[in-house]
Amino acid sequence: MTISVGDTLPDVTLTKATADGPEQIQSSEYFKGKKVALFSVPGAFTPTCSARHLPGYVEKAQDLKAKGVDEIACTAVNDAFVLGAWQGANEAGDVTMLADGNGDFAEAVGLTMDGKGFGMGKRGQRYSMIVEDGVVKELNVEQPGDFSVSSAEHMLGQL
């Protein structure tokens, strides 16, 4: 079942990419007491994710924070080392990278995709959500191959 607006995010272990290396964190703890602009990409270093999705959030980070967002986070079915390298390569210090290496979070929110045709296996879909104190306030799921409603620009219009 896909998560919906008004639902509480499931509690799963994610791995936060930090300067000191991977740090495991429970999603319930990470989202507790804050407003988070969360977006999901099918994979770090993939074309749309690297050329448009992440750069949009980097460029609009201060605008999002000015509208009340405490943190901007990106999740992907990649390991923390890959997400950390992607963060560095894109100068994305304002974006917290939450690795979902086994796809547990993507599966728990019901937003997985089959990337086998591209040699990627099970991945998270492209989406964005506004989460307040662990509760989904906005949810924007892209149609396969699209990139519009999960963008930072779209999210700014929702805040």
**Residues belonging to the active site:** 49
Interacting residues of 105 by C-beta distance below 8 A, sequence separation 6+: 10, 12, 14, 27, 75, 98, 124
DSSP one-letter string for 44-79? TT-HHIIIIIHHHHHHTHHHHHHTT-SEEEEEESS-
Classify 26 as helix, strand or coil.
strand
The partner residues of 37 in beta bridges, in order of sequence, read: 72, 130
- Three-state secondary structure of 72-131: EEEEECCCHHHHHHHHHHCCCCCEEEEECCCCHHHHHCCCEEECHHHCCCEEECCEEEEE
